Structure 1
Amino acid sequence: MAVKKTYRVIFHNQGEIYEIFVRNVYQSDMYGFIEVEGYLFGERSSVVVDPSEEKLKTTFEGVKRSFIPMQAIVRIDEVEREGQGKISSANGEKVTPFPIAPGPQGTP
C-alpha cells in the first residue's frame, strides 16, 4: 500500500501566518505561484474547539486548490502525520520575501 505524503505549508497572508496541512504541493503553471491541494483538517472528537483551526476550515471550505505566491511562502515541510492547522498574527514579525529572478523576457 502506497504511503500518502503529508505536507505542512506555512505562508504569510494579509498580516497573518497560516499553517496548513495538505496532501499535494507543486509548482504552478502560473509563474511565481505554488499550488496546494488536498487540505487536511484534524477530525478530533474532543469537546474543545480551537477557534484558529475553525477559522481555517471556514476560510478553505469548498476550496479545491490554492495558488500561493512564492514570496509569501515561509516554509514547506514533508511531515509524517498531520498536525493542527492554525492562523496566527504576524505581530510585527518581518517576513522577508524570497528574491525571485525576473520573469520571461525580463518582466518581474
Structure 2
Amino acid sequence: MYKVIFHNANQVFEVFARQIYQSDMWGFIEIEEFVFGERSQIVVDPSEEKLKNEFAGVKRTYIPYQSVIRIDEVEREGSSKISEVPANTTGSNVTRLPFASMVPPPSDD
C-alpha cells in the first residue's frame, strides 16, 4: 500500500493506492488501484468524498514527476484528503519550478 502526496493546481492531494510505478511515458508515475475509506463510516470526510468522485471510474492516473511531493509505502490505508495551498504565501522559502531541464535518456538507436 502506498501513500502518494502530489500537487494539483492550487491543491495538495493525498491518496492511497495498491500499485505505483514509473510510467513508460517519460516524466510520469502511474498510480493504480486507489483505496478509499469504508462507506460505512458514520462521519463522512468531504475532501475524501471529493477525491472518490474525482477518481471514480479511473483505472490508472499519470502524475508528472515534478508534481510529486512524497511517496510512502505504508502498512494500511488512511484517510485520503485534499488541502488547499494558499496563493502568495508570504514568508515561504520554497518555490516550485517546472523541470525544464528534464531530458529523456538517449535511445539505443
Structure 1 residue 58: Cα displacement: 0.2
Structure 1 residue 102: Cα displacement: 1.6
Deviating runs (4+, > 4 A) in structure 1? 97-100
Structure 2 residue aligned with 1:77: 72
**Aligned ranges 1:1-108 → 2 under 5 Å:** 6-92=1-87, 94=94, 96-97=96-97, 99=99, 101-104=102-105
The DSSP-based 3-state class of the residue aligned with 1:58 is helix
- Structure 1's unaligned 5+ residue stretches are 1-5
Instruction: State the TM-score, normalized to the length of structure 1.
Output: 0.83
Instruction: Provide, for residues 42-84 of structure 1, a one-character-per-residue CA deviation record: whole Å limited to 9, x for no partner.
Output: 1052321110000000000000000000000000000010000
Identical-residue share of aligned pairs (%): 55
Number of equivalenced pairs: 100
8 Å Cα contact 1:12-1:95 kept in structure 2: no
Of the two, which has the highest radius of gyration?
A: 2
Amino acid corresponding to residue 28 of structure 1 in structure 2: S
